[in-house]
Amino acid sequence: MSRSRGVRRQIGMSRIVITGSTGVIGRRAIRELHATGHHVRGVTRSAPGRERLASLGVDAVDADVFDEASLSRAFDGAEVVINLLTHIPSADRMADPSAWAENDRLRTKASAAIARAAQAARARRLVQESIAFVYADGGDAWLDEDAPLAGGGVTTSALTAEDHAREMFDGDTVVLRFGLFLGPDSGSTLATVEAARRGTSIAAGPPGAYRPTLWLEDAASAVATALSVPAGTYNVADADPPTNAEIDAALAAAVGVTALRPRTPGDGPMSRSQRVSSRRLREAGGWAPRLRAGTEIWGRITT
């Protein structure tokens, strides 16, 4: 359990180590934290990863993210550990459950090794990535962080990662439940635009269902905000999450088609209506998204 959960503490310039540092959120978080004077190091397993971190002006550190001893060495001296590891399959493989095996391994085994290693390194704060699609279908109701969870499908391992971060680490744990990332270098965003150009919607749920979406730049600023808010769990999504119908209308307009053909609604977590509220992070840390990503991002990507 957190030793000071609920107690607000200011963290000044910190020594920070990030796992998942080279992905779409990791590299933005690094840019933001480095620019504000924190001393940031990124864990990577590859030469291209090291090059990417060097281009961002930060040091790389080698570690096997499934090995606690290796991570403990990487976290030596860190005051804050930020775990942004994912391995999300490409859009054409998402429907295949086996394509999610590595992502599940990261969210189960690696999250445990990271929490224990952060504890061994005596870090004072652990920030753990999670997702906003973990809630039960709420219809039109707003869902805060205490709303009933349903998990299931690819979201179950995200809840396991949350539990590991809270239970295996003794310092302040901040869990960020991110909405669907949207940005120009996100493979899934580009696949959504390509499907729209063919006149097809990728929405898994019915038109009236709410979908928490998030501009990647706003996701990065939420990671920075996570350094100073009280320990706890925070949703991170558009202030006013759009419905699938709103998203599809904005997307259709951006790619110049009349309307998108809806898919037959599925029954997985992504098809539930989740009108997620990020009010807690706004009130605790002043975080506010600059874009309503689900409806405002498309013009930036298609032009």
Q: How far is the CB of 180 from ligand NAP (least distance, A)?
A: 4
For the bound state, the minimum distance from the C-beta of residue 206 to ligand NAP, rounded and expressed in Å, comes to 20
Only one residue has tokens 């990535």, namely: 129
Q: Which listed range, 40-48, 92-100, 115-123, 284-292, lies at the site for ligand NAP (CB under 6 A)?
A: 40-48
Contact 203, 247 (CB under 8 A): yes
Q: What residues from 118 to 147 belong to the interface with ligand NAP (CB under 6 A)?
A: 131
Q: Count CB atoms within 10 A of the CB of residue 294.
A: 28
Is residue 111 part of the contact set for ligand NAP (CB under 6 A)? no
Residue 100 found at the interface with ligand NAP (CB under 6 A): no
> Which residues contact residue 244 at a Cβ distance below 8 angstroms, ignoring those fewer than 6 apart?
201, 203, 205, 206, 207, 208, 209, 211, 262
Helix (H, G, I), strand (E, B) or coil at 178: strand
Residue 236 near ligand NAP by CB under 6 A:
no
Under rule CB under 6 A, residue 50 binds ligand NAP:
no
Smallest separation, CB 185 to ligand NAP (Å) = 8
| Whether 289 contacts 240, CB under 8 Å | no
CA distance 168 to 113: 9
Query: Judged by CB under 6 A, which stretch of 23-31, 149-157, 199-207, 237-245 contacts ligand NAP?
Result: 23-31
Q: Which stretch binds ligand NAP (CB under 6 A): 5-13, 16-24, 194-202, 278-286?
A: 16-24
88 touches ligand NAP (CB under 6 A): yes
Residue 130, token pair as written in the block: 């999670």
- Please report whether residue 46 would count as binding ligand NAP according to CB under 6 A: yes
Stretch that binds ligand NAP, among 83-91, 200-208, 277-285, 289-297 (CB under 6 A): 83-91
Q: What is the nearest approach in angstroms of ligand NAP to the Cβ of residue 114?
A: 11
Beta-bridge mates of residue 234: 176
* Residue type, position 265, single letter: P
Instruction: Candidates 2, 14, 17, 20: give the one binding ligand NAP (CB under 6 A).
Output: 20
Q: Which two tokens mark 138?
A: 């709420």
- Asked whether position 235 contacts ligand NAP by CB under 6 A, the answer is no
**Which distant-in-sequence residues (6+ apart) come within 8 Å of 269 by Cβ?**
133, 134, 150, 151, 152, 153, 154, 155
Out of 34, 67, 94, 102, the residue judged to bind ligand NAP by CB under 6 A: 102
Residue 78 found at the interface with ligand NAP (CB under 6 A) = no
The CA-atom distances, in angstroms, between 191 and each of 94, 182, 194, 245 are 11, 11, 5, 18
- Applying CB under 6 A, the residues found at the interface with ligand NAP are 20-24, 26, 44-46, 49, 65, 85-88, 102, 106, 131, 178, 180-181, 186-188
